[in-house]
Amino acid sequence: MEKEIISSRQFTIVTFLYSIGTAILIIPSSITGAAKQDAWIAASIGVLLSLLVIKLFLTLANQTPSLNFIEANEKILGRFFGKITAICFLILTFLSAGELLYFIGIFMKTEVMPETPTLAFALLFSIIIMYAAYLGIETFARSAEILFPLFTFIFIFFVLSITPQITFENIQPLLEATKASMFYSIARFMSIFSFPLIVLLMLYPTGVNVQPSAQKGLYIGAIFGGIVLVTLIVLSILVLGPENTASRTFPSYALAQRISIGNFLQRIEIIMAFMWISSIYIRTFMYFYTTVVGLAQILKIKDHRPLIIPMGIIVIGLSQIVHPDIVHSTNYNNEIWPIFSFIFTILLPILLLIVVVIRNRKSKAQNNETPQQETENDNQKV
């Protein structure tokens, strides 16, 4: 199969939409429950700290510029341990793909079409994901280019439309949250926003045409994605209030329901749903694509396409059993997911970097010893 390459501009757009992902639905309630009206401060700190996470990912990726993340595991840790860590990472991405299909189903059933089973939505959405995976990453990147201006336009319209309903008293008093609640809120935010960015190492550096521009694109996309999420959190608190935001499953959708322009333009929240579905599509695809391509590389299969349909069928079934109800899903994302993702998206890259540094130092020491030994041998001969 020919190697697919995307432009740095496309990579930036994919990063932007991917970083928003499912966070656009669940982040406001998740961190507002702990930090209350200071949730936007926790999110802002989380965006800044995420730049360090991106630096970690880029540093690791630049150590193996000709390999993606799955291949780098085997290269750095060896065949046995590298495959074990790669398989554990793919379990994370596969579970995440199934969970996002669950979110699509539960969102549509709860807010849009309550009489339709969640399986129907998961099936339809997975067909799109599988077809995109079959067409390849270049076609996927072009679709992201099409979705980006639509997403941006709808988001700007959304912000301007909901601004008249802002109540600044909802965000007062400032800095009332405890240090513990702020820490938990920052950790939850980063676990959903920046930790999953490691999946983009399946595209960078091997899948982009200009690597220096792609590095900047990763920062730019993540920063603007963070701005979108912080804006949504601020608006949720200012319009709905911290208690109401924390109690709702999808507070950003509740915001869209409140849009009313001149008592004429109303009930347009389903149009706003396009914004959320677009970002969730990008993240679900990347999780599924990473799983399929990574599994093909572990099994030494040159073309990943034969794995798309069987893995797609499995992920549809997984989406129906991954969470028994929305309460279980909320507890998982608040308590388990931050720890689970931290192990495989932060600790694993740090481990890989440590191994690379140790190997580089040993190789330099050996290279320095070799000329000295040659000089001593020459002196002995003389």
Between 150 and 273, whose confidence is greater? 150
Assess if residue 223 is contained within a domain. yes
Contacts 24+ apart (CB under 8 A), 258-264: 258/162, 258/165, 259/158, 259/161, 259/162, 261/161
Per cent of the chain over pLDDT 90 is 41
208 three-state secondary structure: strand
**pLDDT value, residue 351:** 93
Assess if residue 379 is contained within a domain. no
**pLDDT value, residue 372:** 55
Beta strands in the chain (DSSP E): 260-261, 265-266
**From CA 259, how far away is CA 52, in angstroms rounded?**
37
Q: Residue 270 is part of a domain; what is its CATH number?
A: 1.20.1740.10
Give 264's pLDDT tier (boundaries 50, 70, 90). Answer: low
**pLDDT value, residue 1:** 55
Quick check: 153 pLDDT over 70?
A: yes
> Average pLDDT over the chain, rounded to whole?
87
Assess if residue 338 is contained within a domain. yes
Q: Which two tokens stand for residue 242?
A: 């911290």
**pLDDT value, residue 378:** 53
113 three-state secondary structure: coil
308 three-state secondary structure: helix
Whats the size of the chain, residue-wise? Answer: 382
Quick check: 373 pLDDT over 60?
A: no
Q: Read off the pLDDT of residues 55-112 as tens digits, 9 standing for 90 and up.
A: 999 999 998 888 889 999 988 998 899 999 999 999 999 999 999 999 888 888 887 7
Q: Which of 46-50, 181-185, 204-208, 373-377 has the highest mean pLDDT?
A: 46-50
Query: First-to-last CA distance in the chain?
Result: 58
265 three-state secondary structure: strand
Assess if residue 381 is contained within a domain. no
**pLDDT value, residue 2:** 60
Mean pLDDT of 347-371: 82
Assess if residue 322 is contained within a domain. yes
**pLDDT value, residue 375:** 53
Of 13-22, 351-360, 373-382, give the lowest mean pLDDT range. 373-382
Q: Read off the pLDDT of residues 32-63 as tens digits, 9 standing for 90 and up.
A: 888 888 889 999 999 999 999 999 999 999 98
Quick check: 381 pLDDT over 80?
A: no
Quick check: 367 pLDDT over 80?
A: no
**pLDDT value, residue 248:** 82
Quick check: 207 pLDDT over 80?
A: yes
CB atoms within 10 A of CB 65: 11
| Domain count within the chain | 1
**From CA 43, how far away is CA 233, in angstroms rounded?**
8
Assess if residue 55 is contained within a domain. yes
**pLDDT value, residue 379:** 54
Assess if residue 368 is contained within a domain. no
Mean pLDDT of 210-218: 89
Assess if residue 374 is contained within a domain. no
Contact 94, 78 (CB under 8 A): no
Per cent of the chain over pLDDT 70 is 94
Quick check: 242 pLDDT over 90?
A: no
Domain membership of residue 17 as a residue range: 8-360
